[in-house]
Amino acid sequence: MDGDWFLMAILDPNDTAGFYKYESEQLAWGKWVLNLEYELYADKHTEYELPVDGWYWFASIQEARAFFGIPEPILEESAVEI
């Protein structure tokens, strides 16, 4: 992805609301995004005119995947012999 920006790590794996950016077949996510030119914070997401540099706000990763046209991952069952 272009530019220098930092993302906050997931603190609660069940809370996937946040800023999403899809670029070069990579989906980036963060509760806040820091850049030399802008800062985006979750508690202020309604105040921004999005998208900002390709960043959008979604309530969940499922919403982000649907918006960007990214299929849900297919989880395959694996057999383990003991």
pTM of the predicted structure, to 2 decimals:
0.76
Q: DSSP state, 47? A: G
Residue 48: phi and psi, rounded to 5, are -90, 150
Q: What angle do CA 3, 14, 26 make, to 5 degrees?
A: 30
Say how far apart CA 9 and CA 43 lie, in whole Å.
16
Say how far apart CA 79 and CA 64 lie, in whole Å.
32
Residue 3 region by backbone torsions, left for phi larger than 0, else alpha for psi between -120 and 50, else beta: left
Question: What string of pLDDT tens digits covers the 82 residues of the chain?
Answer: 455 555 545 567 788 999 999 999 999 999 999 999 999 999 999 999 999 999 999 999 999 999 999 998 887 776 666 6
